[in-house]
Structure 1
Amino acid sequence: MTTYHLDLGDNGSEALDSVTKLTLIDTEVDINDFVAGDYKAPVPLWGNVILTRGDVRDEDTTKWVEDVENTDTHQDVVLIAGDPADPTARRVRLVDAAATMTYHLDEDDDPDAFLISFTDITVEK
């Protein structure tokens, strides 16, 4: 299983426990298959994805995730597949991403999981 890091563009990243349920235009796609593939869609691939935070948390990420009602928090973010220091690690750019109102999908099940939505997704190689 690939490890992922969330990068908000603040010169830091946060290791994630998991990245699951990548949904592109209402179709669920395995994140590892998407990262390894060569997707070139003629239209924006909007959707959402569930990120589960680990024990070590970045303050900026916490602030961004908890500010779900502020539309100014929409920004491009990057999921790094593998080691963030490795220049060959694939980077998944989520365009206009924001934590959604379903911040905690099921607090009894996994209080560290949250959903982010985005308007497009691309893999940078």
Structure 2
Amino acid sequence: MTTYHLDLGDNRAETLDSVTKLTLVGSELDLDNLLTTGVRAPVPLWGDVLLTRGDDRHEATTTWVEDVENTNTHQDVVLIAGDPADPASRRVRLADAWASTTYHLDEDDDPDAFVISFKDITIEK
């Protein structure tokens, strides 16, 4: 299983326990498979993804995900598959992302899980 990091930019990154339930335009996909096959589309591929935080938390991430649905918090974020210091690690750019109103989607199952929504996805090589 791939280790993922959520990068908010400006050295604000944290290790995630898991990245699951990636949904693009209503279809659920496996992110690990998407990284190997790539994604190309003539239109933006909007969607959301369920992230589960680990023990090593960055204060900026906490602030960002708790400010649910605040349009001022929309920003591009990057999911890094592997070591963030390794330039060969695959990067998934989520354009115009925000913490979704479904922030506590799986709170009963895992209180550390939250959903972010985004307006487009790009796999960077």
Scaled to the shorter chain, the TM-score interval is: over 0.9
1:13 aligns to 2:32 (yes or no): no
Aligned to 1:48: 48
Aligned to 1:121: 121
SS of match in other structure, 1:61: helix
Aligned to 2:33: 33
Deviations 1:9-51 (A, max 9, x none): 1213100000000000000000001111121111111000000
Amino acid at match of 2:80: I
TM superposition shift of 1:108: 2.0
Note the 1:50-69 alignment, pairs <5 A: 50-69=50-69
Amino acid at match of 2:119: T
Runs of 4+ in 1 over 6 A off after TM superposition: none
TM superposition shift of 1:102: 1.3
Q: Distance in 2 between matches of 1:93 and 1:106?
A: 24
Aligned to 2:86: 86
Q: Distance in 1 between matches of 2:110 and 2:81?
A: 22
- Tell me the TM-score normalized by structure 2: 0.97
Aligned to 1:95: 95
| 2:19–2:50 contact (8 Å) kept in structure 1 | yes
Gaps of 5+ in 1: none
Q: Give the count of matched residue pairs.
A: 125
Cα RMSD after superposing both structures: 0.8
Q: Distance in 2 between matches of 1:77 and 1:35?
A: 16
Q: Distance in 2 between matches of 1:107 and 1:27?
A: 22
